[in-house]
Structure 1
Amino acid sequence: LARRGYAIDAIELGENMAAIARRALASYPQAHVRVGTFEQADIAEGMYDLVTSATAWHWVDPTVRYVKAARALRPGGALAPFWSVHVHTDADGGFFEQVQKVYDRLVPELTQGTEPMRHVEQLPEAERTEIERSGLFGPVAVRRYGWDEPYTTARYIALLSTYSNHRTLPDERRQHFFDAIAALMDSTYGGRIVKGYAAMLYVARRT
């Protein structure tokens, strides 16, 4: 959005992440980042063409998010939250079936209650009903964008290290778990795997 020349008012909960965002946007004087919550932020009413959120909208208080977004938008402005999710891809060579066995053996609590991976076209439109029930927006358009992302062993372990439920494992147990995944990747998949992703985008205009 910044590269396209849009004026941006971004709200980031964490000071560290806000600092990273400011550095990334340093070349775009029309982009501003403030620290705080969407719920408590002082947002001008009827001033914005778009309210969007990247894989974070579900953290915003449901009694506040749609009302505040609608108030911030000009008539006809759009709410467009989106999420990225892990999906099944035939390009993974069966890796995620095999790595599930590592989870089951070493950290079974991390996958308890999780659902099997779906193909992109099978993803449920989870947010559509909530947006419609708010009564503040028109028809909801849903878009799915799928892609395959390649990972080396080192890059995939680095990715896992960003997951909060993986990070909170005891150090020794986490390292043993990561070593087992790395061994699987290196011995069976030549140190390279492919992970499927999809972005689910919901777009609804303020009525």
Structure 2
Amino acid sequence: MPTVPTEGSRPSAKKPHEYRQTAESFGSDAERYGRARPRSPEALVERIVSSSPGPDVLDVGCGTGIAARQFRAAGCTVLGVDPDARMADVARRLGTEVEVAAFETWDPAGRGFDAVVAAQSWHWVDPVAGAAMAKRVLRPFGRFAAFWHVFPMPSRVAEAFATACRRTMPDSPFDFGALTKPSVDAYQPMLTKAAEEMRGVGGFEEPEEWSFSWEWSHTRETWLDVMPTLGPLTRLPADASASALEEVGAAVDALGGRFTMPCTTVAVTAVRSASTT
């Protein structure tokens, strides 16, 4: 869930990738991030792997290697690129090779890949420079795929989360109201922008959009483990974070201590054309 300032929140000329403090805050608790964040649907991983010309995958903004480990389990060789050394350390310890750099300025040193993937991370990449780099490193017929998870919390939990965030961060640019009504439609601007940039740099076949449905179940304990890894809370002081967690925990208790969310993973994907120009 890319929780970044959106149109309709506080006025700002910034694009998501320009919120560097938020983008680089997830490594403050990298161990928790790797433990609590959701995995991608296996059907998505399988579709990317089966439609790529070979097994070499570049994972952009790999974080702690959550997606990378899934692609490795599917038989791929994966290299991760991430700007946060703390996240990279966890990924390496769990078996993923990682180079620390922003993807836009990363040096591929002449290497090519059969797939370039970005799991929950492409909104932190400059879309123009990112598209150009993806084109540069993909082999002919290689596949680019950026994807995001949409998980609508139960209304009681979402309202408690939004209320706690507004109280603890009254001057934040985040649109906390969006927490109460996340939808696939809200992700359409990111999908459209990524597709536009693929068309803009040329060298790609017409982009496609994919969608995968799945469920994510939580107890009070597991959901409160996820919450500190979400964008609004990663930079909160410990006392404010604890207060927000207490409120959300009470909302989960009111639901019987557990809940299941009907989730959707949305992807934008394009194949590198045969020409390398």
Q: What TM-score does the superposition give when structure 2 sets the normalisation length?
A: 0.61
What is the DSSP-based 3-state SS (H/G/I as helix, E as strand, rest coil) of the residue aligned with 1:197? strand
In the alignment, which residue of structure 1 is the partner of 2:140?
Answer: 75
Match of 1:5 among 64, 75, 82: 75
Give the conservation status (yes or no) of the 8 Å contact 1:52–1:80. yes
Match of 2:219 among 142, 146, 152: 152
In the alignment, which residue of structure 2 is the partner of 1:112?
Answer: 175
Structure holding more strand per residue: 1
Structure 2 residue 257 is matched with structure 1 residue 194: no
Q: Which amino acid aligns with 1:22?
A: R
- What displacement does 1:148 show? 2.0
Distance 1:33 1:122, change over 3 A: closer
What is the DSSP-based 3-state SS (H/G/I as helix, E as strand, rest coil) of the residue aligned with 2:222? helix
- Output the CA distance in 1 between the equivalents of 2:110 and 2:143: 14
What is the DSSP-based 3-state SS (H/G/I as helix, E as strand, rest coil) of the residue aligned with 1:132? helix
> Where in structure 1 are there 5+ consecutive unaligned residues?
26-30
Please show how residues 54-203 of structure 1 align to structure 2 within 5 Å: 54-87=119-152, 92=154, 94-96=155-157, 98-99=159-160, 102-103=163-164, 106-107=167-168, 109=170, 112=175, 114-115=177-178, 117-120=181-184, 124=188, 125-126=191-192, 127-186=194-253, 188-203=254-269
In the alignment, which residue of structure 1 is the partner of 2:18?
Answer: none
CA RMSD of aligned residues (A): 2.8
- Output the CA distance in 2 between the equivalents of 1:65 and 1:170: 33
What is the DSSP-based 3-state SS (H/G/I as helix, E as strand, rest coil) of the residue aligned with 2:105? coil
Give the conservation status (yes or no) of the 8 Å contact 2:162–2:177. no
CA-to-partner distance for each residue in 1:16-54, whole Å, 9 max, x for gaps?
A: 2112111222xxxxx522222212222144721111111
Give the conservation status (yes or no) of the 8 Å contact 2:115–2:143. yes
Structure holding more helix per residue: 2
- Output the CA distance in 2 between the equivalents of 1:5 and 1:101: 41
In the alignment, which residue of structure 1 is the partner of 2:8?
Answer: none
Give the conservation status (yes or no) of the 8 Å contact 2:157–2:252. no
- Output the CA distance in 1 between the equivalents of 2:232 and 2:162: 18
Q: What TM-score does the superposition give when structure 1 sets the normalisation length?
A: 0.79
- Output the CA distance in 1 between the equivalents of 2:162 and 2:126: 36
- What displacement does 1:131 show? 2.4
After superposing on structure 2, the runs of 4+ consecutive aligned residues of structure 1 that deviate more than 4 Å are 107-111, 118-123
Percent of pairs with identical residues: 24
- Output the CA distance in 1 between the equivalents of 2:74 and 2:106: 25
* Corresponding pairs, count: 197
Distance 1:35 1:175, change over 3 A: same
* Higher alpha-carbon Rg: 1
Structure 2 residue 113 is matched with structure 1 residue 43: no
